[in-house]
A and B are shown apart, each in its own frame.
Chain A
């Protein structure tokens, strides 16, 4: 597609439930990022995938968070046993390569509300 797409655009869930958020990067982009944007905060890095390399999971806030990227393309971010503090906008970004300073292209985000 023309840009990064994410689904769903909005998700409301009950505390304790699991959620899956999906990201379709720009075709041909080898690098994929997940960020979390909470109210009044900047973007918090969660995880990074680059080609077939092991992902950088250093930003995941707890072991309830996990992500995978299948076939070097689509990625799924899973949050298990959601908590109210998980409520945020989850953003996905992709970029063409791993070079320094390459531009990241962002998706529209998934707005998650945990009741």
Chain B
């Protein structure tokens, strides 16, 4: 079974600071990787995802993530955060094959980001 570890429980940054949120996964096969975001009072929404190909994935609102297979990592980055990025961020992984179990999406515990104006 797969597992996901997010290193930081709560990150506090000033506006314009750079962001990197760590995510490591554990799984013996090839994977699909996701970052979801939950803004205050809103539901979870997809930020970006990696299936295959270029390991640097660009998502909405200037976010990007890099898949480093050798490190089992999929860290989320943004060069300059804004107050509106205040939210909780969840990393998730699923097996990349089709068939039984491929639908299982395993989430990390989330990282709360607070951006101070």
Contact = CB atoms under 8 A, between A and B. Distances in A.
Contact of A108 (B43, B46, B51, B96): B43
A2 interface: no
A31 B110 CA distance: 24
Interface residues of B, number: 28
Nearest to A109: B43
B90 interface: yes
Q: Sort chain A's interface into a size bin.
A: 20 to 34
Contacts of A106: 36, 43-45
B94 A101 contact: yes
Nearest to B96: A100
Interface of A: 3-4, 31, 33, 35, 40-43, 45, 48, 50, 56, 91, 93, 98-101, 103-109
11 contacts: A3-B43, A4-B43, A42-B4, A42-B108, A42-B110, A43-B90, A50-B103, A100-B94, A101-B94, A106-B44, A106-B45
